[in-house]
Structures are given as C-alpha cells and as structure tokens.
Amino acid sequence: MVSRSSFFEREPSAMIMPGGVSKRASTVNFFMRHVLKRYVARNGLNPKTARIVARWLELLTLGFTGFAKIQRKRIGGVNCEVVIPQNPPSVARTVLYLHGGGFFINLPGTYRRFAKRIAEAYGATVYLPDYRLAPEHRHPAGADDCLAVYRALLDLGCDPRTMSVMGDSAGGNLALVTLLRARDEELPLPACATILSPGADMTFSGASYINNAKADPMIPMNALYAVARQYVDAHEEAHPHVSPMLGDFTGLPPLKIVVGSTEVLLDSSITTAKSFQDAGGKVVLQVWHQMPHVFPLFQFLPEGQMAMQNMVDFFNKHTRRVTQTQKKSPRRPHRSCGSSE
C-alpha cells in the first residue's frame, strides 16, 4: 500500500506479490504487449479492432464465478443487470458497478462474470448499468445514465451506508463523476467507493502518459486520444465531469484506487489520490508492480485474487458499523433494495 507521503513521489512504491510478478501475469503482459497492443497501435481504433480486442479480453477473463443469479431490470430509465449472491446476508448490501470500455464499448460477458465474483465476495447485490455509449451518445449521456441509476437505487430503498460505487477505466471516471454530481445535488452518498485504473484525466497531463507509453502492456496512446475525441469535444476535456481528477473532492466518501505501476493511467490515479487527500478525504492508493490495466478482471491471476480480497476488506471496513448494529435486531429475510419480491 502506498504511504500518504508517496502520493507526492514521482515513482510510488508498489504492491508486489511474494516472489515477484507471477508467471501468469508475465504471460498476460507478454500477450497483450506483443499481440493486442501492437495490433491496435498499428491499425488504430475502429469498430473492427475494437471487436477483435473485445473478443480476446472476453476469453482472457473466462473462469468460474460462483452461483450468483442474474436478473434484468430497468432502473432509473436505464437497462441494468442485477447480480444477486447465492447466499445473501441478512443485511442488504449494494454495489453500483460502472463498467469500463473507453466510453464506447461494453464487454458483457467479462463484466457479468466480474459482477458475479463481486456479488459473492462482497455478499452484495451488484447493479451493472448498460449506460449509453459513444460515439452515438457523447458526453454527458453515459454520465447522466449512471447518476440516474444511483438516484433510483436510493429511491428504491438502498441504504447508502451499506453501498459502494465502483468502476474501472472509463467506468472509474464515471464513478468519480457520479459521486461529484450526487454530492452537488445533495443526495446521500455511499459508504465508500473503489476505482480500478481510472481514466480520470481526459487532458492526459501526467508524465506517465509519456514515461509509461512503451511499458504499458495494453494501452497505446493513439487509442486513448481516439477515445477522448469520440467521447467529448476538446474544449470540454478539462471539465470536472469529464476529467474528475480536476474536480473538488470535498465531502466525498472514502476511496480506494487500484492501478498497475506501468500503466499510462498511473498518474491519473496518483493525482486523484493526492487531490482527494488534499480535500480532506480518506483515500487508499495501491500501485501494483507491473500489473496490466484493470488486472482484477483476470480471475486466474494471483495478484487479481489478492487485490479482490483487499477490495472486500475495504468495503467491509466501511460498512461494518451498520451491519453489526442491524445484526443485533431480529433477523429478517434478506430482500435486495428495489426488489419486487
């Protein structure tokens, strides 16, 4: 875990597995760097390359995900998948998960599997919105959908004290934007938030966009620039609802950030953590040694499994007081917020 002072360091200390980077992670890095990244860098970002990369990522994230069940509901006017753990706790716990994909693509199989893993590990009902995507729906369409689902969950009875907002990559951006907008609208805020490899800076101002351009095993810079132009006009890129790293984080709930040390998005995470701390917030920044973009998605990586447990511990820490208090009262049958059962 990176110390408070290391938020200001150019090269923060990194989480390292005993024995160093696992062979599985090294293999994933090699494949991504020499196959997927090279392919996108050579051919540019277009529908064809996006489909091919999505297909490979869907395969790489295959694995057993437990017995959580999936329902499909329309919440706040947005189609959502609702993932319910097999053995939910007596106290309803909720996760709003905002998927990544550069604001323009969804990997339904990948994120459905990840949501099932989160549901089982957290003992929480996970809501996975199918928010509108660029370039057909540019900013703020996707952000509007995410906030609409969050607001609707509160209206449906979800207790914010046992809720977390999560997201990865572009979804990490949207998670921060959702928190900023919810605070500004004076909505109740969740107990905590977790973001993985967040794309929180659409101005691409950090040094890691240059220093890690070759080291990043997955993301070529030409793809990032193309993603930005699909999502938002250049004159809007510094707005806090586009680059939340540049926003005012005063009053937001505790935040956990997980990122790889060789990612081009590293400085996006470091600067977000520093800004969060400067605003008086509680933040945990974990920089994992040589891990690829959003590595917890890969169930077979030992590092991903350890990171998942760290995320569970963070969630439990910030919801424990409520769950312990409610457990003292007579046990009632579990019912997810928003349930029609």
The residue-averaged pLDDT of 80-96 equals 92
Q: How confident is the model at residue 334 (pLDDT cuts 50, 70, 90)?
A: very low
The Cα 27–Cα 47 span in angstroms is 27
Q: Which conformational region is residue 259 in: left (phi greater than 0), alpha (psi within -120 to 50 degrees), or beta?
A: beta
Q: Has 136 been annotated as catalytic? A: no
Residue 154's pLDDT is 98
Which of the residues 99, 139, 241, 293 is marked catalytic? 293
**Segments of 136-235 assigned E as strands:** 163-168, 192-196
Residue 329's pLDDT is 45
* Domains observed in the chain: 5-325 (3.40.50.1820)
The residue-averaged pLDDT of 73-100 equals 94
Q: How confident is the model at residue 163 (pLDDT cuts 50, 70, 90)?
A: very high
Alpha carbon 309 to chain centroid, angstroms: 15
Q: Which of 136-145, 214-223, 238-247, 318-327 has the lowest mean pLDDT?
A: 318-327
Q: How confident is the model at residue 90 (pLDDT cuts 50, 70, 90)?
A: confident
The Cα 268–Cα 244 span in angstroms is 10
- The torsion of the CA quartet 82, 85, 91, 97, rounded to 10 degrees, works out to -40
Residue 64's pLDDT is 75
The residue-averaged pLDDT of 83-109 equals 92
Residue 323's pLDDT is 63
Which of the residues 81, 237, 263, 303 is marked catalytic? 263
Q: How confident is the model at residue 18 (pLDDT cuts 50, 70, 90)?
A: confident
The Cα 290–Cα 216 span in angstroms is 8
Assess whether pLDDT exceeds 50 at residue 1.
Answer: no
The residue-averaged pLDDT of 176-186 equals 98
pTM of the model: 0.92
Q: How confident is the model at residue 339 (pLDDT cuts 50, 70, 90)?
A: low
For residue 64, give every residue at least 6 positions away whose Cβ sits within 8 Å of its Cβ, in sequence order, or none. Answer: 299
Percentage, residues of the chain above pLDDT 90 = 77
The pLDDT tens digits of the residues spanning 279-295 come to 999 999 999 999 999 99
- The torsion of the CA quartet 315, 321, 325, 331, rounded to 10 degrees, works out to 10
The residue-averaged pLDDT of 16-25 equals 86
The residue-averaged pLDDT of 3-22 equals 61
Which of the residues 6, 164, 169, 261 is marked catalytic? 169
Specify the residue for token string 């080291």.
215
Q: Has 58 been annotated as catalytic? A: no
The pLDDT tens digits of the residues spanning 131-154 come to 999 999 999 999 999 999 999 999
Q: How confident is the model at residue 325 (pLDDT cuts 50, 70, 90)?
A: low
Return phi, psi of residue 318, to 5°. -95, 0
Q: Has 339 been annotated as catalytic? A: no
Of the ranges 14-28, 57-71, 77-91, 314-328, the best mean pLDDT one = 77-91
Assess whether pLDDT exceeds 70 at residue 5.
Answer: no
The Cα 324–Cα 326 span in angstroms is 6
The pLDDT tens digits of the residues spanning 184-231 come to 999 999 999 999 999 999 999 999 999 999 999 999 998 899 999 999
Give me the chain's average pLDDT, please.
90
Residue 13's pLDDT is 63
Assess whether pLDDT exceeds 50 at residue 86.
Answer: yes
End-to-end CA distance of the chain: 42
Return phi, psi of residue 70, to 5°. -120, 130
Q: Which of 199-203, 262-266, 333-337 has the lowest mean pLDDT?
A: 333-337
